[in-house]
Chain A
Amino acid sequence: MRFRYHTRYSDARKLLPWTEGRVAYLLLVLALIAAPFVLQRFWVGELSYIFILAIASLGLMILKGYTGQVSLGPAAFVAIGAYAHALMLDAGVPFAVSLCLTLIISGAAGLMIGLPAIRVSGLSLAMMTLAFAVIVEHVLGRWKTLTGGFSGLPVETPVLFGFRLGTPTAFYFLCLAILIITLLGLVNLMRGPKGRAFVAVRDSEAAAWGLGIDVARTRVEAFVLSSAILGLSGALMAHHVQHLTPEGFGLLLSLELVLMVVIGGLGSLRGALLGAVLIGFLPRLISMAKPLLPAQVSAQFGLEIFAYGLVLAVFVLFEPRGLEGRWQKTKAFLTSFPVYRRDTFRRQKTYMRSERLK
């Protein structure tokens, strides 16, 4: 057992208070830096894709995990980011500028959906975002003069400060850098006043109003921030797939993103990352497991969707707090090893709140 002793308030603001934690994260970063020089080309590409998914997952976590707004169409914002970025590169906008503009454009798309979303929540909001995703996918398919329709839109190789980032290794480092910057920014934001306001809106709107938090505005801000980050991941996704088609941003991608945040553990940035890793590797795990399965099963179509459903069902039944919850439990078990109490994380009774005021 160990306890945190603070001698000044700034001690409580340290991100990594323990030496072990600092060493662990340092090793993780070193391993990620070494990875492209050790792994095969294919796996470097796979890891880059996981990083892109992780950025998208972080974006969705802000909306779903921190402000409690259900979105079933996050892929729409990824698509908007991807197409906006590809079209701007086509028009000769420099890569870095285009990336910043993508943030603004997809943020503006979020504002467009976020403003009417003030009036709806829960299931209605879920349906609204789902409808938006379907509309975006169809518009991208039909607006042939701009997007190339279903035959697709080729994406130019990123060029940053005169360096062509065409090789898998260079692109890997670009994705890793943007992921780390996004993560650090969000960690800071979520432990500051804005992040607390998000959580307040999620847990009790009545109390949030009473404390002077503009609930409507906060919900829109979460929408804008979330879509901007989803759009950023879309820009990187465009380079990853190199040829944009509307099908790439269909409901399956939305489903994957929603699964990432739910299975990762709502309300935790680490959960978003863990969820992205699990869901991102799932298709590879399935294809690796295929030779081991009986022929009737492995020949089936749509094994991935089945696996998504299975993983979701298992988590909802056995670990509702997701991978983050499992992580916390494992950590608590290890740090308090001989005296770990089985019921530490037992779910507590929740008290009824009947006076629900909008």
Chain B
Amino acid sequence: MTGYRYIVVFFLLSMFPCISYAQETVQVITGTYNRTFRYSTGDIIKINAEKARITITGSEKEEIIVTTKLISKARTVEIAKSELSYHQYTIEKNKDVIDIENRIVLPKHVKEFQSVLFVEIQISIPTEMELQVSNNYGNTKIENKNGKTHVNSGFGDIFLVNVGGELKLKSYYGDLKTDGLAGHSVLDLVLTPAEISGASGFINLKSSLGDIVIDNPGRLRALNIESSKSDVTMVYGREQEFRYFLQADFGELVIPQSFGVAPRDEITNRLIWTYGDPDKPEINIKANFGNIILNVE
């Protein structure tokens, strides 16, 4: 065998550990619950969950369809079956409120989990139905929703697609991505970087320690952002559609030269930039210890 062949064989052998690392066989037990409710105007749905992957979709149907999968993954069937009971799942309707609750509770005599437990909740609701979601350690996705929507998320990602109406959202440590946000939105974000694409309507956003990207805003009526220790970037195609008031304290203002107006120093460590006709929708951004960047494509 020539030296060249030795090198090829050595290379191929060295790849085996990379291919076969750390895979193991896991047993999965899934308990699936299906429930359907008739919808009456004024009904509210409240979801209080943890370690849940929640998907809520607005529909034209006058009913609420809930499919919940309680999942337990473990090395043996016995452990997976046994620990499936750690899920404490309830769904009930009291008057006009549908309550869905899931907790994962480790019994006192058990030291630690031996199985990976999580929940998948898929809900179809009328688009106008009031929705209140609280989810910790899990992701939340809401699509095609109008009416009142309240979201409270901790340690999980949030995806909103075509959500309008009245939105109140709080997030602590996660990622937020929205596409087609409309109506009145109030967003309170801590340690939550956000990408907001194609937004319209009114948006009030507070962010701390999470960068904000406003991408291709549609028919925004007003945008107010107060950010702290976060950069705010706006990316869009048309530049003279809005009236701007941008203020950066202890940060930079990056404005394309095509506007023809440069930021001015208001006081030490404060930059201000104003631009646009008074009758245009207002974009008001105040950044503290962060940069504001306008990027016209």
Instruction: Answer yes or no: are A and B bound together in one complex.
Output: no
On B, residues with C-beta under 8 Å from A are: none
Give chain A's interface residues, CB within 8 Å of chain B.
none
